[in-house]
Amino acid sequence: MEKEFLDKVKDNATIRIYVTQNNLQELKNVWNQWDDETKQLFYFNYGDLPYLLDVKVDKHLFQALV
């Protein structure tokens, strides 16, 4: 029973990582479509947030967030 529970937890973590990576890729695609003026406006309003687009999403990062 404990093994089944742990398997479900691992499966859920795997699904969450996959979804997170897909969402991150969508954000990268949007960012890449913007021109320099739009990107500068975003930097002005939100600071260094776009640098997070370069962070690799992996199980270690995900576990740190949970």
* Sequence spans of domains, the chain: 2-65
Residue 37 pLDDT: 94
Q: Is the pLDDT of residue 13 over 80?
A: no
Kindly report the pTM of this predicted structure. 0.54
Q: Kindly report, residue by residue over 24-64, the tens digit of the pLDDT.
A: 788 889 889 999 999 899 889 988 888 877 777 666 666 65
For CA atoms 54, 60, 63, 64, the dihedral sign is negative
Residue 33 pLDDT: 94
| Overall average pLDDT of the 2-20 stretch | 70
Q: Helices (DSSP H) in 1-66: which residue ranges? A: 2-33, 36-46, 59-65
Residue 50 pLDDT: 83
